[in-house]
Amino acid sequence: MKRLRLAAVLAAALLAFLPATAQAADYPDPLPLTGQEIIHDPTVAHLKNGRYVAYSTGGIIGARLSKDMKHWDDSGNAFAEPPSWWYEYNSTGDPWAPDLSFRDGKYWLYYAVSSWGTNHSAIGVATSKSGLPGTWTDHGKVFTSETTDTWNAIDPGVIKADGKLWMAFGSYWTGIRMVELDPKTGKSVPGATAWHLATRPDAPYAVEGPYVVKHGRYYYLFASYDACCSGVNSTYKIRVGRSTSVTGPYVDSTGTPMLEGGGDLLLAGHGRYVGTGGQSVFRDHGKDWLAYHYYDADDNGTPKLGLNRLGWVHDWPVVK
């Protein structure tokens, strides 16, 4: 009995030093929301005019606006009309997975255009002074991929690091990559190296939707693993690793590289909230927030907006 009690004490002590992500058995529910909650692959920001905006995938780059981050109204589309070059990548001009950021006095909206099941894909960029729907000027292609490439140019996530501008991207096709961008144009630098950040050891390499943030001395890579887009049958979940360099290598709390399938489980489906993923991170009033979509099992698997505070324990993120 003494040995059993000692083992229990040692196990409890070990858990106290592990990141909170490794201990999670029950996940917190998202912030209660009202209004237009339907969304996919959200990117959220608190605009200079005081409103919150969320852009998303869904046949268009749909927009939602809120005064308090709790009640959201449908606010049309980012673009009044799809740019003509989108039709090179699918027949309906369907953009995916936007990423919203602010620098140099204007908002930058990155997004992807592709078709399901192919890596004939492109990432584009637009700018706006206000960040509001209907005010965006498109600037064309940032980075592309073809069927001969070993990566897929979708799901952009942009970050400034060490005086340079970087874009993480990727979906299946050997996983997550990163390229350097020209800060003046917002497009990839000529001959940009496609740094490899994360993958799975098994085909079809089901990891996508990268988002990189800096906290303290580390860069953190958040990514969606497994399958989205199947309603209540979706298995999406969010994993995370960290690195002291924006280009990696990224490892989880056990030291397993994300290039070898590592990644701490940050958030998974629970209860009515199925297939949590398509995530991004934004900062508001000094606090970090995780935005993502989930499929509502109480509403026929409808994709909806999830928002949770993001805390930090022992230099690892934890969902609150």
Of the residues 208, 252, 264, 296, only one is catalytic, namely 208
- Placement of tokens 């005064």 in the chain: 67
Of the residues 37, 41, 99, 180, only one is catalytic, namely 41
41 given a catalytic annotation:
yes
Q: Residues comprising the binding site for substrate?
A: 41, 117, 152-155, 171-173
Give helix then strand counts, H and E, for the chain: 2, 21
* Residues contacting 124, CB < 8 A, separation 6+: 83, 85, 86, 95, 110, 111, 112, 113, 138, 139, 140, 141, 142
37 given a catalytic annotation:
no
- Placement of tokens 């589309």 in the chain: 77
Q: Residues comprising the binding site?
A: 41, 117, 152-155, 171-173
With residue 291 as reference, give the H or E element that holds it. strand 287-296
CA distance 13 to 142: 49
Q: Which residues pair with 27 in a beta bridge?
A: none
List, by residue number, the catalytic residues: 41, 208
